[in-house]
């Protein structure tokens, strides 16, 4: 299959191109498109066959459910059986935006989308290209992040191309995405509501509106008993080079780098997600300028781009400092912890 790439203006995309992409979706095709978080791989959510193709293209296991994207609240009734009372307040404050809400599903949503769960995850993205594409297709769009399963999510059309060229029908290229980490997944079928995946809307912002909100962690998600959100699987978002983490300080970063050097890594084999102004020990490290430490929005926007850039250099390890669990720092920690290779695995390989 040849994958078409259509460049579009991020703010006012050409309606002709959007119409062509929407036609592909309605015919059961797969189209990657930008959202404000990361690029998604879209298919008609009400078309089982199209949804199956998403899993095949990504190499994603069928037990990991997809998010259904809508462009207008009127589409909710196609997919949700029961809209919980808290939904209206959340929608008013955060939608469209990087928040995904898990609710009871309607029977019309194919089991392929929800992996057989009685719930469906719904999201209204804020990106003009995503909104106009869904509007033109006039069906809800199931879309996981447009990466091969387990890889860092794509924040540019080039990232999508690297992972999925030849496996999908088209890519709408509108440049880099603004938020850079995926949406927050909030389960509203539980009281208090549970954050299944931290993301673009912070826990603090949700709590200011809803009161108590619980964050599910990999520990509370017991793998053997089935995961509340399958994306909570411990290893995910991983580049092809092993990732090592330090605590969130310059001294701690230098310490972890020192440990790798003692294990025999040369400085030129070590890649670093390096906060602005931080100084490394002597050596020719490969560095990606990550952004200002403390500006978690900026670091989130550049995280996956940094991991993908570093893995393409000739290095043997990536090191990154771990942000504190504050604001978008919580999502950054989550992605980095999942990208990091358990030390035992790395030592075995060496």
Binding stretches for ligand TXA (CB under 6 A):
35, 37-38, 40, 64-67, 98, 100, 102, 114, 117, 119-121, 123, 125, 143-145, 182-183, 185, 196-197, 229-231
The residue (of 82 and 255) whose beta carbon lies closer to ligand TXA is 82
Record the tokens describing residue 83, joined without a space: 């809209």
The residue (of 79 and 319) whose beta carbon lies closer to ligand TXA is 79
The residue (of 234 and 343) whose beta carbon lies closer to ligand TXA is 234
119 binds, among ligand TXA, Mg ion, none (CB under 5 to 8 A by kind): ligand TXA
Shortest distance, CB of residue 113 to ligand TXA, whole angstroms? 8
Spatial distance between the Cα atoms of 181 and 199, rounded to a whole number of angstroms: 6
The residue (of 102 and 319) whose beta carbon lies closer to ligand TXA is 102
Shortest distance, CB of residue 85 to ligand TXA, whole angstroms? 19
Shortest distance, CB of residue 42 to Mg ion, whole angstroms? 13
The full DSSP string for 174-240 is --S-SS-SPPEEEETTSSS-EEEE--SS-HHHHHHHHS--EEP-TTTS-GGG--SSGGG-SS-S--S
Shortest distance, CB of residue 346 to ligand TXA, whole angstroms? 25
Shortest distance, CB of residue 145 to Mg ion, whole angstroms? 3
The residue (of 182 and 311) whose beta carbon lies closer to ligand TXA is 182
For the packed helices 296-311 and 329-339, what is the interaxial angle rounded to 10 degrees? 20
Record the tokens describing residue 59, joined without a space: 């190499």
Shortest distance, CB of residue 231 to Mg ion, whole angstroms? 6
132 binds, among Mg ion, ligand TXA, none (CB under 5 to 8 A by kind): none
CA-based torsion, 233, 236, 242, 245: positive or negative: negative
Total Cβ atoms within 10 A of residue 106: 14
> 167: buried, middle or exposed (CB in 10 Å: 19+, 13-18, 0-12)?
middle
Q: Where are the alpha helices (DSSP H) in the chain?
A: 15-26, 48-58, 76-79, 86-94, 111-114, 128-137, 157-164, 203-210, 250-262, 296-311, 329-339, 343-349
Spatial distance between the Cα atoms of 133 and 6, rounded to a whole number of angstroms: 13
102 binds, among ligand TXA, Mg ion, none (CB under 5 to 8 A by kind): ligand TXA
196 binds, among ligand TXA, Mg ion, none (CB under 5 to 8 A by kind): ligand TXA
Spatial distance between the Cα atoms of 265 and 257, rounded to a whole number of angstroms: 9
Strands 119-123 and 67-69: parallel
> How far apart, in Å, do the first and last CA atoms of the chain sit?
38
Residues that bind Mg ion (CB under 5 A): 145
Shortest distance, CB of residue 34 to ligand TXA, whole angstroms? 9
Total Cβ atoms within 10 A of residue 328: 27
The residue (of 26 and 104) whose beta carbon lies closer to ligand TXA is 104
65 binds, among Mg ion, ligand TXA, none (CB under 5 to 8 A by kind): ligand TXA
Closest residue (Cβ) to ligand TXA?
231
229 binds, among Mg ion, ligand TXA, none (CB under 5 to 8 A by kind): ligand TXA
155 binds, among ligand TXA, Mg ion, none (CB under 5 to 8 A by kind): none
The residue (of 64 and 250) whose beta carbon lies closer to Mg ion is 64
271 binds, among Mg ion, ligand TXA, none (CB under 5 to 8 A by kind): none
The residue (of 65 and 96) whose beta carbon lies closer to Mg ion is 65
Identify any residues that bridge with 34 across adjacent strands, giving them in sequence order. 39
Shortest distance, CB of residue 32 to Mg ion, whole angstroms? 13
Phi, psi (rounded to 5 degrees) for 272: -130, 130
The residue (of 100 and 246) whose beta carbon lies closer to Mg ion is 100
């Amino acid at each position: 299959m040849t994958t078409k790439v259509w460049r579009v203006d991020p703010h006012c995309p050409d309606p002709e191109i959007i119409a062509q992409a929407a036609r592909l979706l309605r015919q059961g095709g797969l189209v990657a498109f930008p959202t404000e978080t990361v690029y998604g791989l879209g298919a008609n959510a009400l078309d089982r066959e199209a949804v199956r193709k998403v899993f095949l293209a990504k190499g994603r296991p069928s037990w990991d459910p997809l998010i259904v994207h809508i462009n207008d609240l009127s589409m909710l009734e196609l997919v949700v059986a029961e809209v919980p009372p808290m939904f209206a307040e959340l929608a008013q404050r955060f939608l469209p935006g990087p928040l995904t809400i898990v609710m009871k599903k309607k029977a019309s949503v194919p089991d392929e989308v929800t992996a057989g769960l009685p719930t469906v995850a719904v999201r209204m993205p804020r990106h003009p290209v995503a909104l106009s594409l869904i509007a033109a297709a006039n069906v809800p769009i199931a879309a996981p992040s447009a990466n091969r399963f387990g890889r860092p999510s794509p924040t540019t059309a080039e990232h999508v191309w690297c992972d999925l060229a030849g496996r999908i029908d088209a890519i709408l290229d509108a440049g880099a995405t603004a938020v850079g980490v995926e949406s927050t997944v909030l389960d509203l079928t539980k009281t208090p509501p549970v954050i299944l995946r931290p993301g673009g809307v912070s826990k603090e912002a949700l709590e200011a509106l809803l009161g108590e909100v619980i964050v599910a962690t990999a520990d509370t998600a017991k793998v053997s008993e089935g995961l509340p959100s399958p994306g909570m699987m411990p290893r995910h978002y991983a580049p092809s080079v092993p990732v090592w983490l330090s605590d969130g300080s310059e001294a701690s970063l230098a310490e972890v780098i020192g440990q790798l050097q003692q294990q025999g890594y040369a400085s030129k084999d070590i890649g670093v997600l390096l906060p602005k102004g931080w100084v490394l020990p002597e050596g020719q490290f490969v560095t990606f300028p990550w952004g200002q430490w403390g500006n978690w929005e900026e670091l989130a926007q550049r995280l996956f781009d940094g991991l993908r850039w570093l893995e393409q250099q000739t290095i043997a390890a990536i090191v990154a400092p771990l942000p504190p669990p504050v604001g978008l720092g919580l999502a950054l920690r989550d992605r980095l912890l999942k990208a990091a290779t358990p030390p035992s695995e790395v030592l075995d390989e060496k």
